[in-house]
Amino acid sequence: MTAFFVFCLVLIPRILPNAYWQSIFSITGVYVMLSLGLNIVAGFTGLLDLAYIAFFGIGGYTFAFLCSNHFGIHLPFLLALPVCALVAMISGFLLGLTSIRLKGDYLAIVTLAFAQIFKLLLLNLDAPVNITGGVNGIYAFDTAKIFSFKISSPENYSTWIWACALFVFVISFRLKDSRIGRGWNAIREDELAANAIGINVTRMKLFSFATGAMIAGFAGGVFASFQGSVFPNNFDFQQLVIVYCMVIIGGLGNIYGVVAGAIVLSVLPEALREYGGLRMMIYGAALVAIMALRPQGLFSGIPGFSKLMRRPDKDETGELRASTDLYYSLETDDGNRKTFTREDLPILNIQNLSLNFGGVKAIDDLDLTLHKNEILSIIGPNGAGKSTLFNVISGIYKGDKGSVTYRDHDISYFKPHEVVRLGIARTFQNLRLFNELSVLENVKISRFCRTKAFFFSILLNLKLNRKEEAETDKTVKQILNMFGKRLTGYRFDQKVKELSYANRRRVEIARAMATDPEILLLDEPSAGMNPQETIEMTDFIKELRDKFGYTILVIEHKLNLVKAVSDHVLVMDFGKKICEGSYETVSKNPDVIAAYLGKKGKK
Amino acid sequence: MEDIFGQLSQQAINGITIGGVYALIAIGYTMVYGVLSMLNFAHGELYMMGGFTGWWVLQFFSSKHQPVMNAAILISLMILAAMAVSAILGLVIERVAYRPLRKAPRMNLLLSSLGVSIFIQNFILYTQGAKVKVFQVSNLIPEGLRTFHVGDTVISFMRIFVIGVCFVLMLLLTFVIKKTNIGKSIRATAQDIEAAAFMGIDTDRIIVIVFLIGSALGGAAGILVSLLFTQVDYYVGFQAGLKGFTAAVLGGIGSIPGAMAGGLLLGLCEAMAVTFFPSAYKDVVAFIILIAVLIFRPQGLMGEKIREKV
Amino acid sequence: MNAETVLELKNVNACYGKIQVLYNINMTIKKGELICLLGGNASGKSTTLKTILGIVKPSEGAVFLNGENINKRPTDYIIRNGVSIVPENRRIFPRMTVLENLEIGAMHRKDRGQVKQDIESMFELFPILEKRINRQGMVLSGGEQQMLAMARALLSNPAVLLMDEPSMGLSPALVDQQFELIENINKKGTTILMVEQNATMALSIADRGYVLQTGEIVLSDDAKALLDHPGMQKAYLGGEL
């Protein structure tokens, strides 16, 4: 691919027949940049950003203001471009700050409104003071100079633009395979789950939005200097649609595909010039057709355009390739390993917790204490408020009354990602995995909250990033290895949606473990498992405490599991605690029998 | 001082007229959103098609730019044709672009509707050209009826007519939704689509009906505005769609009375804005209202806040 | 009892995507019976109901309603042809009045003249609903919503009434009442298939029961026999209390 870019930026401009094709080639470079930037926002993060083209315009007009006679400012070319990027990024950040919390289509409409306001301002801010030049735009820019080298010939412009495109391409790639890219993917797949494994969703969305705006702004500057002028029409809704078509035809999130999409859609319409009037119509129809027929883009599944999944492989002997590519295997039982038991040290305290849902008391004045290295089971009929309790502890719901304290922190008002960061991780009863991502990726995302590398460290692959990436890989594989063949080997690369129900439960537990929690909240870990698998899960939960020292709060219906693992059992019904104590005590309590198994009938 | 007052009452009439139109557009958005939770970007194009259909009908019954037909019949024909064409187009869109994506992620649905919008807009551009189509209807209305004077305020007949049609359509819709079985089925489907199927309601059919009603009202809005301003072009749908959506959000998306109130409110706000700012900025005012509502009260003025179930 | 078969599942397999969730389910429900379907969470109970309702299509096997294969039929067709459901969490239409909710339940019926009278008889069965007749669905209490959901389902004159966890989230006093009601409704001639986790209660009023585990029927017998079955508690709860 790099060779391809070098080819593009040096050779092609010099072999193209005439200035017309040279300018198309340069414009193609601008579109590659633009679509790669949009791909970060819409493809990686799944945000439908319809203000994207306005940031392109902000970049373009900033350049026009800074490098022309319009205001008489003549900033050096190489200084003006970063300023364009920065101004667009700040605008993106500010717009994002107000609207990023909105749900998908609301975000789309706010950003669309912003883009409209931007265009109206471009058109009308020529009076009473001429700021934007109105419909006539701004023209006659300074000559582009890199230090003392003038980029004036079309060939040199092409080379320069494609060098910029290469730069954006590298940024895209670095980001995609980093903690940030994984965080974005998680948000795209399932916002709530992303939040519940420690990703600050609002901040990461904002960052994505601003990064996209920055790239668009940069591309805007480059484009303005190339065209030598800027007009409102360069930045209108049609342009936005063209860029969206490029990204979608290429496949949202697929970097190679997006580059290919941008090239095809820049060159093809020129090749079919006679049909010029039909062009936008075809774009519209193509959008509809692709969404219905190939939502992954035209290039998905073609080798070289998308990372092909490692095959669910068999090795030469015909055996399923299992843990063969593991670098670390855990000693299973070496006898002198430390074992853990419940200590008399309360670490999680819930007091007088109440929560109402439209008049129904989901949790009613509940107290709970969890001790260090304890396994506490919560049982009770469906609808008793058990999962709601987990949702309160993990910060998804806020209690109406009462408090939740973890060690010295009052976490009653903590957000989900803050709770995870402190050391409480959870699984979901209905499974909220990132279904389109692989097993390995799912669990790697959990390391987000334990790593720090940010933009520059990732971009330049500094030591911090390298170290963290290696650690992430190691930790994740170690954790998956605890589940043996079920989640290792070829399964690393299998999409989660292809796993069996029981295996998906295991991935959820692995994902919770990979956030380095002290407390694990397991919501029905054995639901949907057959008796054999349930026995396995029972042993595993015990091991989680005995060998690895996790403190565990578990909701479970299968009482043999509860009996086998619990130090302490708490029974809930109608949001209330109706009884607690050892399994033996609880199981003899008549209220419990009535609540759980139902009273004996009257017959 | 009196001058300002006169101007305000004049603008109030303008606001109610345009607000009624916004309300009609908003109803289409809100109804579709109700049953499919999707934002139908193509809705604005149905409005545009309403205008164009009216123009085609007018051309058909004109010779040498003079209508050759009784004015009342001609205008009714234009409105009915506009509603019918938009309604049929709405059905086709639902069938082709949305139904195959019923289970797909929301973003795909949005992009598909964006595609439909681009397609229709450019289809009209390609076949009809970019030139504004002018409605030669000013002399349809008898001389003495063209304008009315109430105090200092001047009201044209067309304005009264537009307001009248808007309100009749809204009353009709309210009746259908509140009292008829179809209306009850639509409400049930909007409130809980699966539970509606549990009641034996063919929800696919209800979705089709919703598109039918919404699109017809959008088409009616299009022809009414075209009659009022005596012109239409291929690009009007985009702006009008955005306004209609703003009105729907203002009232609380999903709520039909909300859409009506939101439309009127937006129309009045815009008209008042014209009193104080250059008219080029009235759209800016509308979009700022949209952004402000979404940020501070995303459930709209009449919508209910719903706690997301986990 | 030699009554006619209302609903039959024959060798039904069903999948979510690539994952199989039901294995070879066979079930027969005869006119007038009260059947309960038991099993832990994620054991396949809800999927079985969804298969009957046409929401999940069987990958193999078939569902017969009054002798007709309804595999390919959409939900609304199945409802109009004699299945009715009291869904989990009741699914009352929140912004409709009690009366409107009831009317919707009866909307697809052909004998329109009879509906008004039937609604009156529902008010006799559930007097509280008459008192709340013009209230919106969302302001009703959990118990009232449950009654409304049952009345609404009954108003469609079903050949078989499905009930998904009818006792869930109800207070103990109401649970007793609830089961009494179900028994009454059944005695008046409605065939009922009920999914319930309150096993003892459910079996005490049912004629027969099926027990599901990881998508398979592991036990099926007369309710009395199931109550006394030693494997029953184990299969259902995974252990004994």
User: SS in 3 state form for B129-187?
Assistant: CCCCEECCCHHHCCHHHCEEEECCEEEEHHHHHHHHHHHHHHHHHHHHHHHCHHHHHHH
Interface check for C236 against chain A (CB to CB < 8 A): the answer is no
Strand partners, C86: C163
Closest CA to A474 of A324, A330, A331, A327: A327
Q: Mind giving me the DSSP string for C3-40? A: PPEEEEEEEEEEEETTEEEEEEEEEEEETT-EEEEEE-
- Amino acid making up residue C200: T
pLDDT for position A275: 67
Q: At what angle do helices A154-176 and A255-271 cross, to 10 degrees?
A: 150
Contact call for A524 and C202, based on CB within 8 A = no
Contact call for B188 and C76, based on CB within 8 A = no
Q: What is the DSSP letter of A142?
A: P
Interface check for C230 against chain A (CB to CB < 8 A): the answer is no
CA distance A344 to A347: 9
How many residues appear in chain B?
A: 310
Q: HEC string of chain B?
A: CHHHHHHHHHHHHHHHHHHHHHHHHHHHHHHHHHHHCCCCCCHHHHHHHHHHHHHHHHHHCEECCEECCCHHHHHHHHHHHHHHHHHHHHHHHHHHHHHHHCCCCHHHHHHHHHHHHHHHHHHHHHHHCCCCEECCCHHHCCHHHCEEEECCEEEEHHHHHHHHHHHHHHHHHHHHHHHCHHHHHHHHHHHCHHHHHHCCCCHHHHHHHHHHHHHHHHHHHHHHHHHHHCEECCCHHHHHHHHHHHHHHHHCCCCHHHHHHHHHHHHHHHHHHHHHCCHHHHHHHHHHHHHHHHHHCCCCCCCCCCCCCC
Query: Would you say the C-alpha torsion C51, C53, C54, C60 has a positive or negative sign?
Result: positive
Closest CA to A19 of A110, A156, A154: A154
Interface check for C176 against chain A (CB to CB < 8 A): the answer is yes
Encode pLDDT of C31-74 as tens digits: 999 999 988 777 888 899 999 999 999 999 999 999 999 999 99
Tell me the backbone φ, ψ of residue C211, rounded to 5 degrees. Answer: -115, 125
Question: What structural domains and CATH numbers belong to chain B?
Answer: 2-296 (1.10.3470)
8 Å CB contact between A222 and A161: yes
Interface check for C201 against chain A (CB to CB < 8 A): the answer is yes
CA distance C192 to C37: 11
pLDDT for position B193: 93
CA distance A440 to A325: 13
Interface check for A6 against chain C (CB to CB < 8 A): the answer is no
Interface check for B200 against chain C (CB to CB < 8 A): the answer is yes
Q: Calculate the CA A306 to chain-centre distance.
A: 18
Contact call for B108 and A117, based on CB within 8 A = no
Residue C191 structure tokens? 């065939």
Encode pLDDT of C103-138 as tens digits: 999 999 988 889 999 999 999 999 999 999 999 988
Q: Which is more confidently placed, A550 or A142?
A: A550
For chain C, give the mean pLDDT. Answer: 88
Interface chains of chain A (3 or more CB pairs under 8 Å): B, C
Confidence of residue A329 (pLDDT cuts 50, 70, 90): very low
8 Å CB contact between C33 and C208: yes
The SS3 call for residue A586 is helix
Nearest-CB residue to B192 (from C85, C93, C108)? C93
Encode pLDDT of A357-398 as tens digits: 866 788 999 999 999 999 999 998 777 889 999 999 999 999
- A465, B93, C46 from C212: Cα distances, Å: 50, 44, 11
Interface check for C94 against chain B (CB to CB < 8 A): the answer is yes
Contact call for B201 and C100, based on CB within 8 A = no
Provide, as residue numbers in chain A, all residues whose Cβ is less than 8 Å from the Cβ of C17: 497
A314: pLDDT strictly greater than 60: no
A603: pLDDT strictly greater than 60: no
Interface check for C85 against chain B (CB to CB < 8 A): the answer is yes
Strand A375-379, strand A568-573: pairing = parallel
Domain boundaries, chain A: 2-243, 314-334+439-505, 339-423+517-603
pLDDT for position C240: 41
Nearest-CB residue to A284 (from B108, B116, B298)? B116
What mean pLDDT do residues A194-219 have?
A: 96
A352: pLDDT strictly greater than 80: yes
Tell me the backbone φ, ψ of residue C38, rounded to 5 degrees. Answer: -115, 160
CA distance C26 to C37: 12
Closest CA to C153 of C122, C181, C198: C122
Nearest-CB residue to B200 (from C76, C94, C96)? C76
CA distance B25 to B259: 9
pLDDT for position A267: 85
Contact call for B249 and A106, based on CB within 8 A = yes
Contact call for A498 and C18, based on CB within 8 A = yes
Nearest-CB residue to C93 (from B195, B202, B203)? B195
The SS3 call for residue A454 is coil
Between A408-417, B31-40, C173-182, the lowest mean confidence (pLDDT) is in: C173-182
Strand partners, A438: A495
Interface check for A408 against chain B (CB to CB < 8 A): the answer is no
Provide, as residue numbers in chain B, all residues whose Cβ is less than 8 Å from the Cβ of A48: 107, 110-111
Residue C46 structure tokens? 């809800």
How far is A284 from chain B, CA to nearest CA, in Å?
4
Encode pLDDT of A223-267 as tens digits: 999 999 999 999 988 889 889 989 988 888 999 999 999 998 888
- Amino acid making up residue A266: S
C239: pLDDT strictly greater than 50: no
- Amino acid making up residue A19: A
Nearest-CB residue to A559 (from C141, C171, C241)? C241
pLDDT for position A320: 42
Confidence of residue A328 (pLDDT cuts 50, 70, 90): very low
Provide, as residue numbers in chain A, all residues whose Cβ is less than 8 Å from the Cβ of B121: 280, 284
Note the CATH architecture for domain C5-82+158-237.
3-Layer(aba) Sandwich (3.40)
ipTM: 0.91
Q: Mind giving me the DSSP string for C41-103? A: TTSSHHHHHHHHTTSS-EEEEEEEETTEE-TT--HHHHHHTTEEEE-TT----TTSBHHHHHH
CA distance A217 to A59: 4
pLDDT for position A494: 86
Looking at domain A339-423+517-603, what is its CATH homologous superfamily?
P-loop containing nucleotide triphosphate hydrolases (3.40.50.300)
Contact call for A598 and C175, based on CB within 8 A = yes
Interface chains of chain C (3 or more CB pairs under 8 Å): A, B
**Percent of chain A predicted with pLDDT > 90:** 54
CA distance A535 to A561: 7
| A354, containing H or E segment | strand A346-357
What mean pLDDT do residues A20-30 have?
A: 90
pLDDT for position B280: 80
Confidence of residue C1 (pLDDT cuts 50, 70, 90): very low
Long-range contacts: C221-224, Cβ < 8 Å, 24+?
C223/C36
8 Å CB contact between A365 and A352: yes
Q: Which residues 91-110 on chain B approach chain A with CB closer than 8 angstroms? A: 96-97, 100-101, 104-110
Closest chain A residue to B124, measured at CA: A281
CB atoms near residue C143 (< 10 Å): 17
Q: How many helices (H) and strands (E) does chain A have?
A: 23, 16
**Percent of chain C predicted with pLDDT > 90:** 59
Encode pLDDT of A286-307 as tens digits: 889 988 888 888 877 665 554 4
Interface check for A557 against chain C (CB to CB < 8 A): the answer is yes
Q: What is the DSSP letter of A42?
A: I
CA atoms within 13 A on the CB side of C140: 30
CA distance B75 to B164: 14
Indicate the burial class of A337 (C-beta count within 10 angstroms; 0-12, 13-18, 19 or more). Answer: exposed
- A19, A386, A432, A577 from A573: Cα distances, Å: 78, 9, 25, 7
8 Å CB contact between A322 and A489: yes
Provide, as residue numbers in chain A, all residues whose Cβ is less than 8 Å from the Cβ of B235: none
Indicate the burial class of A331 (C-beta count within 10 angstroms; 0-12, 13-18, 19 or more). Answer: exposed
Indicate the burial class of A104 (C-beta count within 10 angstroms; 0-12, 13-18, 19 or more). Answer: middle
CA distance A448 to A277: 48
| A185, containing H or E segment | helix A179-189
Q: Calculate the CA A494 to chain-centre distance.
A: 19
Provide, as residue numbers in chain B, all residues whose Cβ is less than 8 Å from the Cβ of C104: 184-185, 188, 196, 199, 201
Interface check for A278 against chain B (CB to CB < 8 A): the answer is yes
Provide, as residue numbers in chain B, all residues whose Cβ is less than 8 Å from the Cβ of A106: 249, 294, 298
A130: pLDDT strictly greater than 70: yes
Interface check for B184 against chain C (CB to CB < 8 A): the answer is yes
8 Å CB contact between A264 and A283: no
Q: What is the DSSP letter of A491?
A: G
A350: pLDDT strictly greater than 80: yes
Contact call for C79 and B195, based on CB within 8 A = no
Encode pLDDT of A66-87 as tens digits: 999 888 889 899 999 999 999 9
Encode pLDDT of C216-227 as tens digits: 998 899 998 888
Interface check for A358 against chain C (CB to CB < 8 A): the answer is yes
Interface check for B164 against chain A (CB to CB < 8 A): the answer is no
**Percent of chain A predicted with pLDDT > 70:** 91
- B31, B59, C148, C214 from B104: Cα distances, Å: 20, 42, 33, 28
C160: pLDDT strictly greater than 50: yes
Q: Which of C57, C73, C95 to mutate to test the interface with B (most CBs of B within 10 A)?
A: C95
The SS3 call for residue A406 is strand
Q: Mind giving me the DSSP string for A234-288? A: GGSHHHHHHHHHHHHHH-TT-HHHHHHHHHHHHHHHHHTGGGGGGHHHHHHHHHH
CATH 3.40.50.300 domain residues, chain C = 5-82+158-237
What would you measure as the largest C-alpha separation in chain C, in angstroms? 53
Q: Residue ranges of chain B with pLDDT lower than 70?
A: 1-2, 303-310
